[in-house]
Amino acid sequence: MPAKLASARLLAGGDARPGPEARQLAGGGGVRGAPMNGGSRKQEVSLRSEQLLQQGPWRTPSTSSPMTSACLAWTAARPSACCYPQSASMPTTCHGLPGMEAWPCCCRPPLRPPTSMPCSAASSVRRTPTSCASMPWLRALPRRNIRRSWSTLQVSTPTWATTSPLVTPSLFPTCPRPRASVPLQEKLERVILGSKAAEQHPEEVRGLWQTCGELMFSLESRLRHLGLGKEGITTYFSGNCTMEDAKLAQDFLDSQNLSAYNTRLFKEVGQDGKPCYEVRLASVLSTEPILDSEMNSKLKSYEFQGSNFRVTRGDYAPILQKVVEHLEKAKAYAATSHQEQMLAQYIESFTHGSIEAHKKGSRFWIQDKGPIVESYIGFIESYRDPFGSRGEFEGFVAMVNKAMSAKFEWLVASAEQLLKELPWPPAFEKDKFLTPDFTSLDVLTFAGSGIPAGINIPNYDDLRQTEGFKNVSLGNVLAVAYATQREKLTFLEEEDKDLYIRWKGPSFDVQVGLHELLGHGSGKLFVQDEKGAFNFDQETVINPETGEQIQSWYRSGETWDSKFSTIASSYEECRAESVGLYLCLNPQVLGIFGFEGADAEDVVYVNWLNMVRAGLLALEFYTPEASSWRQAHMQARFVILRVLLEAGEGLVTVTPTTGSDGRPDAQVHLDRNKIRTVGKPALERFLRRLQVLKSTGDVAGGRALYEGYAAVTDAPPECFLSLRDTVLLRKEARKLIVQPNTRLKGSEVQLLEYEASAAGLIRSFSERFPEDGPELEEILTQLATADARFWKCPSETPSGQA
C-alpha cells in the first residue's frame, strides 16, 4: 500500500533527502542526544546529529519494506514487555553503557529532574504543562514541598511504569541515609492520593498504593535487590525459593530437555512434606486439548531427585494473546518469506509456550539478512534472573543506519582475519565463523526494562554455533550516551576531559562493534553430543594454560548459561569487553572506522580510559551487604579495571582525592604510553584464561578466576569499598530515553514524539495504548493479584508453603 509506505518513510524520517523539516525532526533542537541545558556540547551533538542524519535511514529511497508500516502499526498497539512484572530498572541487554546509570537508585533521590532525551528524532512536541502551578490538586501540599514531590513523582514514575507494581525491589536500594526516604514516601503518598485519578477511582488508587508504596521504599535488605533466598527477591521464582531450588530445577529442566527461558518456578510443600515445584511456561494456551504434541507431552507431573515437579503453561496468557494478535496482523506486511515464517514461528512459540518454535523463528530471523526495518521479540536476555537462565520478555522495532552499517559490514568482512589476532590457539576458535548480519539501527521502540546500546542475538548457544547470529548497534541510544557535559565528568584528570568528550562517541562505536561481533561472536565450546561424539580432537588439542590435553567439556544438554549460571552473563560480557579493548589496538580495525595517525591513537586512549573510568563507576552497582553485583556489564568493567591495575608499572592508578567542594573525590590515571607495552600483554593473558575456561566448561576454574577479580574489598592501595562511597557521592543524574509512539490514522502512520523530560517520558508511556489501556491495566492487576501470595513475607506465608 504505497500511501502507507510513503508516509511511514516521511514520518520516520525517511524519504530521499531530508528537508529542513526532517532535519528538525531528526536532530534539530539538540534532541538527538543533546543535553537539555545546552552549551558547546549541545552544538557538538547537534553537529553529530546532522552527520548521522546525512547517513541515516532517511536517505534510503524506495528501500522501505512493507515491514516498515507493519512494524510501525504493530508498535502503535503492541503489548509492551514493560507489562511483564519482573523488577526494578536495570540495563538488561548487552551492551549497557559505561557511565550511563540506568538504575534509578539515588543517594540523592531524584529531587532534580534528570537529563533526559528522546530516543528518536524528536520534537514536534506539544509542551506538557508540568509546573506544579498548573496542577490544582497539588495545592494540598505545603508549597516548598510541591516542586520537589512533583519532580520526584515524575522521575520515579517511569520506573514504576516499567516494573511490577507488586514485587519490585526497592527503588532506593543504595540510599546511604535510610531515614531520607521516609518523608519522601509520605510526600509521594499525598501526591498520589491527592491526584485526579484518586478522586475518580479512590478505591483502586488507594489499593494500588497500599500494595506497592511500602515495598518500593522498603530498605529491608532482601527487598533491595534481585536475588534468591535471603539475598533478594525476584518474580521469576516464588519468594520461598533458594539458590538450591534453582539448581535443582535447572537439573530437572535439563533432564527433560526443557528450556528455562520462558518459565517461572513456584515452590509449595505437599501434604507429604515433600517440596512440589511448578514450572510454569508462558503461553496463550493452558490446558486446552489442542493437538500440540511437542509441548503437550511435557505438561505433566514428574518425580525428580525426591521432589515433585509439575510442568504447566498459560503464564501471562492474556498478555501473550495480545502479542499474538498483533503478530498475526504484522504477517500481512512481511517483506520476505523469511519474515513471514519468522512471525509464524513466534506466534507458535507464544501460543504453545514452545522455545523450540522460537528457535525456529530465530533461525528465519538470522536468515533475513539486511532488512531495512529490523525487529525481534521474545524471552531473550537472562541478566535479571538471579540464576541466569530465565529470559526477560523484550521486543524492538528499529530502522537501519546505512552509512554506519557499511563500516560494520567491512568489519564483518575482516572478521575471520581479525579472529586470528585473538590470544588463544586456533582449536579454541569456532570451526567456521558464521558471518553475521551487523547493522547500525536507530530504535523506534525498545520494549523492556532497559534499552541497550547494542545487541548480539539470538542467545541460543546451539543456534549461534551452527546458524550464526545478528549484531545490532543502536545508534540513537549511543547518541544519548555521548551527551556528556564537561563540568559533570567525574574522576578524570583535567587534561583528559576535552579529549574524552571529543573521542568518547567514536571510540565507543569501535568498542561496541568489536564487543558484539568479535567478542560475543568468538570462541568455541568443547562439546560431547548425545551420541558421545566430540567436536574437538581429544588427542591433539592442548590446554595452553596447563599444557595438558582437554580434561573437561560440555555434555549434551549443557549450555554456557546453565553451567556457569550466576556468573555466566557477567563473565561473557567481560570476555566481550576485553576483546574490544584488545582489538581496538589493531590498525586495521581503526582504519575500518576511518581513524589513522594521531586520531587513531586518541581513539585507543579514550576507549581504554573510558573502560578504566567505567570500572570505577561500576562500584555503584555493587551491594556490600550482600557482597554481590547487580549488573553484569558493570561487574565486567570492574574486573577489567582490576586486571589493568594488577598489570602494575603505573599503567593505571586510581587515587582518592578531595574535590574543590571539600568532599571526597577520586581520579583515574591511564598512562597512554604503556597501553601497548604493559596493558596489552596483561589483557592478552587474562583473555586467554577467560576463553580457555569457557571453552572447556571449567566452572570451578572460571569461578575462581572471575570471582577473585570481582571481589570488592577495602584492601589498600585502592580501598574500593571506600571508593564506592565516593562514587555514590559523585553520581551523575541518570539519563532517560523518551520513546515515541506511533498511531495509524486511516492508512497513514503518525509518529508521536514527546519533550525531553520526565514529564515527556510519562506522557509517552501513558499514551502508548490508547485503545486497550484500561483493559491492559485490568489484566495486569489480575495477573499480579493472582500470584501475590507467592511473595508474601514469611510471617504471612500461607500454610503449606515452605
Instruction: State the catalytic residues.
Output: 516
Residue 458 cell numbers, joined: 539470538
Q: CA geometry: angle at 338 spanning 334 and 341, to 5°?
A: 80
For residues 320 and 345, is the Cβ–Cβ distance under 8 A? no
Q: Between the CA atoms of 452, 455, 458 and 460, what dihedral angle is there, to the nearest 10 degrees?
A: -80
Rounded to a whole number of angstroms, the minimum distance from the CB of residue 574 to Zn ion is 9
Residue 235 cell numbers, joined: 518474580
Please state, in angstroms and rounded to a whole number, the distance separating the CA atoms of residues 46 and 32: 7
Please state, in angstroms and rounded to a whole number, the distance separating the CA atoms of residues 393 and 81: 5
Please state, in angstroms and rounded to a whole number, the distance separating the CA atoms of residues 405 and 473: 9
Rounded to a whole number of angstroms, the minimum distance from the CB of residue 392 to Zn ion is 15
Closer CB to Zn ion, residue 92 or residue 476? 92
DSSP 115-127: PEEESSS---PPP
Closer CB to Zn ion, residue 442 or residue 573? 573
Please state, in angstroms and rounded to a whole number, the distance separating the CA atoms of residues 417 and 771: 52
Rounded to a whole number of angstroms, the minimum distance from the CB of residue 790 to Zn ion is 32
Please state, in angstroms and rounded to a whole number, the distance separating the CA atoms of residues 764 and 120: 12
Please state, in angstroms and rounded to a whole number, the distance separating the CA atoms of residues 341 and 345: 6
Rounded to a whole number of angstroms, the minimum distance from the CB of residue 433 to Zn ion is 18
Closer CB to Zn ion, residue 152 or residue 570? 570
For residues 509 and 473, is the Cβ–Cβ distance under 8 A? yes
| Helix (H) / strand (E) containing 773 | helix 773-787
SS3 letters for 541-558? Answer: CECCCCCCECCCCEECCC
Closest to 739 in 3D by CA, of 478, 446, 483: 446
Closer CB to Zn ion, residue 30 or residue 96? 96
Please state, in angstroms and rounded to a whole number, the distance separating the CA atoms of residues 367 and 138: 55
Closer CB to Zn ion, residue 632 or residue 776? 632
Task: Give the side-chain half-sphere CA count within 13 A for 513.
Answer: 30
Rounded to a whole number of angstroms, the minimum distance from the CB of residue 632 to Zn ion is 8
Residue 50 cell numbers, joined: 546532522
First to last CA, the chain: 58
Closer CB to Zn ion, residue 346 or residue 396? 396
Residue 156 cell numbers, joined: 520515579
Closer CB to Zn ion, residue 316 or residue 686? 686
Please state, in angstroms and rounded to a whole number, the distance separating the CA atoms of residues 786 and 789: 8
DSSP 506-520: HHHHHHHHHIIIIIT
For residues 307 and 300, is the Cβ–Cβ distance under 8 A? no
For residues 305 and 318, is the Cβ–Cβ distance under 8 A? no
DSSP 35-68: -TT-SHHHHHHHHHHHHHHHHSGGG-TT---HHH
Task: Give the side-chain half-sphere CA count within 13 A for 143.
Answer: 1
Residue 696 cell numbers, joined: 572447556
Closer CB to Zn ion, residue 553 or residue 706? 706
Rounded to a whole number of angstroms, the minimum distance from the CB of residue 577 to Zn ion is 7
Closer CB to Zn ion, residue 94 or residue 480? 94
Closer CB to Zn ion, residue 579 or residue 693? 579
Residue of minimal Cβ distance to Zn ion: 94
Closest to 383 in 3D by CA, of 95, 737, 696, 712: 95
Rounded to a whole number of angstroms, the minimum distance from the CB of residue 521 to Zn ion is 10
Residue 419 cell numbers, joined: 579472529
Please state, in angstroms and rounded to a whole number, the distance separating the CA atoms of residues 602 and 586: 13
Residue count (the chain): 802
Rounded to a whole number of angstroms, the minimum distance from the CB of residue 457 to Zn ion is 10
> What is the Cα Rg of the chain in Å?
25
Please state, in angstroms and rounded to a whole number, the distance separating the CA atoms of residues 584 and 576: 12
Closer CB to Zn ion, residue 309 or residue 408? 408
Please state, in angstroms and rounded to a whole number, the distance separating the CA atoms of residues 610 and 492: 10
Residue 25, classed as helix, strand or coil, is helix
Residues that bind Zn ion (CB under 5 A): 94-95, 573, 576
Rounded to a whole number of angstroms, the minimum distance from the CB of residue 641 to Zn ion is 17
Rounded to a whole number of angstroms, the minimum distance from the CB of residue 526 to Zn ion is 22
User: Which residue shows C-alpha cell 539475598?
Assistant: 231
Rounded to a whole number of angstroms, the minimum distance from the CB of residue 452 to Zn ion is 8
Closer CB to Zn ion, residue 572 or residue 787? 572
Rounded to a whole number of angstroms, the minimum distance from the CB of residue 571 to Zn ion is 11
Q: For the chain, how long is the longest CA-to-CA vector?
A: 79
Closer CB to Zn ion, residue 226 or residue 514? 514
Rounded to a whole number of angstroms, the minimum distance from the CB of residue 513 to Zn ion is 12
φ/ψ bin of 242: left (φ > 0), alpha (ψ from -120 to 50), beta (otherwise)? beta
Please state, in angstroms and rounded to a whole number, the distance separating the CA atoms of residues 467 and 465: 6
